[in-house]
């Protein structure tokens, strides 16, 4: 494992405005944040918007908003400025032109006038021959006169970097140690597209250098691009940053990179599902890093203090929703009643605060997400539709279920005291007097009131539900049973 001198780190988060912030990007940001804060350094937000074809209107605003919802911030960026701006790549085009000219003058880059049809045909031919598709350097050896003529004719072009033959490029990665690449396996990368906008590979090197980035955390899928980037640093005579290629997050089944088939993949979606930001961050901290002991729970401040580059993992972690639910349930249980009321309210807007305050003690230990709470209390404001077959579990017959509910309704209709202790005593007496099976009775009663066999403690919700609604739900159940 490569050791580094953590003086004052400058890290960066550099998303593309092509959609929502991926949960894996949030994990990367978490490590960027920890190193910058731990070393009294700076975290930079840079918007990498050179892929204009995939641009999604308004996504740059949503990217910044969701990061802030998770309690993270940056020291320089498009919204707050800084000494190395602009922090949006399409606002830096004149900077890239300056540096691409340097490479052209040194013959370390060259104009490529090949049409898309030619490139497509070349690719098809190479694939048919079972070769790795790559550019054949057709335009590398054009004479200055030929180049000038084509430029004068305004023939569209890209600019490619020159890749030397049969050289070994070395990257000392923080996680994977020393990695070697042979340049024969590297294509002549396009640096400037035909529209004059740089590709990611060129812009990221120029920007990271000019913004004085010291450490680059990124996914392991960028490993194959690393030799191109290291070559560009060499061409400019610049010192590369320290690279740490993080493992990918795997699907819950451990098969393949985390994808939508396993559930939510965007950071905002987890908030929408009722996960707390601090729980998601705590879970992500341990998806690629460990503290070296058996600690599980870390606040953001505690994580910053404990974070160590030498404890980043080489093995891809499985994104286990059950483990995330475990963390979220823990953080929910740490909330006070007023805090939980504020958090739950957006998920259950149909209930007033007084009702929610009564429900919170029943919910706290029984939910793993805030959205679970909405599901558990839906019966209070809505009559749940359910099949009468639900009553026939555990060998119960419909006639028996009907007897349970008829007797319960008749008894409850005559009660004026609607407190929990009183109602529990009366219902238990009813079961005892009729020599019924306690579990069977309360399962049927629970289904009648809540529309499900899995609910909050059924007698405890009756004072919250109220007498009129309770009787109404029993009538609905009896109608289903053919009263």
Q: Are 398 and 479 in contact (CB under 8 A)?
A: no
Cβ-proximal residues to 336 (8 Å cutoff; 6+ apart), any chain = none
Cβ-proximal residues to 212 (8 Å cutoff; 6+ apart), any chain = 10, 84
SS3 assignment, position 297: coil
DSSP letter at 252 equals T
Helix (H) or strand (E) holding 216: strand 215-219
**Long-range contacts, 451-455 (Cβ 8 Å, 24+):** 451/379, 451/383, 451/384, 451/385, 451/386, 452/379, 452/384, 452/386, 452/390, 453/390, 453/393, 455/376, 455/379
Helix (H) or strand (E) holding 458: helix 458-465
Select from 76, 74, 47, 71 the least CA-distant residue to 59.
Answer: 47
315 an active-site residue?
no
Spatial separation of the C-alpha atoms in residues 236 and 254, rounded to whole Å: 42
SS3 assignment, position 431: helix
**Long-range contacts, 302-305 (Cβ 8 Å, 24+):** 303/30, 303/34, 304/33, 304/34, 304/37, 304/38, 305/38
Spatial separation of the C-alpha atoms in residues 228 and 302, rounded to whole Å: 37
DSSP structure string for 181-212: EEGGG----EEE-TTSPBPHHHHHHHHHHHTT
132 burial class (0-12, 13-18, 19+ CB within 10 angstroms)? exposed
471: Cα separation from own chain's centroid: 45
SS3 assignment, position 468: helix
Quote the tokens at residue 457.
Answer: 């403690």
238 burial class (0-12, 13-18, 19+ CB within 10 angstroms)? middle
Which one from 61, 68, 98, 260 is the annotated catalytic residue? 260
Active site positions, annotated: 260
């Amino acid at each position: 494992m490569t050791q580094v001198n953590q003086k004052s780190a400058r890290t960066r988060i550099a998303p593309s405005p092509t959609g929502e912030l991926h949960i894996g990007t949030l994990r990367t940001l978490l490590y960027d944040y920890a190193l910058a804060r731990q070393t009294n350094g700076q975290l930079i937000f840079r918007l990498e918007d050179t892929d204009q074809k995939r641009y999604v209107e308004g996504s740059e605003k949503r990217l910044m908003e969701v990061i802030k919802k998770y309690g993270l911030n940056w020291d320089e960026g498009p919204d707050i400025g800084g000494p190395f701006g602009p922090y949006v790549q399409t606002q830096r085009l004149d900077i890239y032109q300056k540096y691409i000219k340097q490479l052209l003058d040194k013959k370390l880059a060259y104009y490529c006038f090949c049409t898309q049809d030619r490139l497509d045909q070349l690719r098809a031919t190479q694939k048919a021959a079972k070769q790795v598709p790559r550019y054949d350097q057709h335009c590398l050896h054009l004479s200055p006169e030929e180049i000038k003529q084509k430029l004068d004719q305004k023939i569209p072009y890209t600019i490619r970097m020159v890749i030397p033959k049969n050289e070994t490029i070395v990257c000392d990665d923080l996680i994977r140690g020393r990695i070697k690449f042979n340049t024969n396996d590297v294509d002549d990368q396009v640096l400037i597209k035909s529209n004059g906008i740089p590709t990611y590979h060129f812009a990221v090197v120029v920007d990271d250098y000019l913004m004085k980035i010291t450490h680059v955390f990124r996914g392991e899928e960028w490993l194959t691009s690393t030799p191109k980037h290291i070559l560009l640093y060499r061409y400019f005579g610049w010192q590369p940053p320290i690279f740490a290629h993080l493992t990918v997050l795997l699907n819950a089944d451990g098969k393949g990179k985390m994808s939508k088939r396993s559930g939510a993949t965007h950071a905002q979606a987890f908030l929408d599902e009722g996960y707390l930001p601090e729980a998601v961050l705590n879970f992500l901290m341990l998806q690629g890093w460990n503290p070296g002991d058996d600690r599980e729970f870390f606040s953001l401040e505690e994580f910053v203090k404990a974070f160590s580059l030498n404890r980043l993992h080489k093995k891809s972690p499985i994104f286990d929703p059950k483990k995330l639910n475990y963390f979220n349930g823990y953080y929910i249980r740490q909330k006070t009643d007023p805090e939980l009321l504020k958090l739950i309210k957006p998920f259950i807007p149909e209930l007033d605060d007084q009702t929610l305050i009564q429900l919170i003690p029943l919910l706290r230990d029984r939910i793993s997400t805030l959205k679970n709470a909405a599901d558990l209390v839906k019966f209070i404001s809505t009559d749940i539709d359910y099949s009468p077959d639900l009553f026939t579990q555990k060998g119960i017959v419909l006639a028996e279920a009907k007897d349970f509910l008829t007797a319960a309704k008749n008894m409850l209709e005559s009660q004026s005291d609607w407190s929990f202790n009183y109602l529990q005593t009366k219902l238990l007496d009813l079961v005892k007097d009729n020599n019924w099976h306690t579990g069977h009775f309360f399962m049927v009663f629970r289904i009648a009131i809540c529309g499900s066999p899995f609910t909050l403690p059924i007698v405890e919700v009756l004072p919250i539900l109220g007498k009129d609604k309770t009787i109404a739900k029993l009538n609905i159940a009896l109608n289903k049973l053919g009263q």
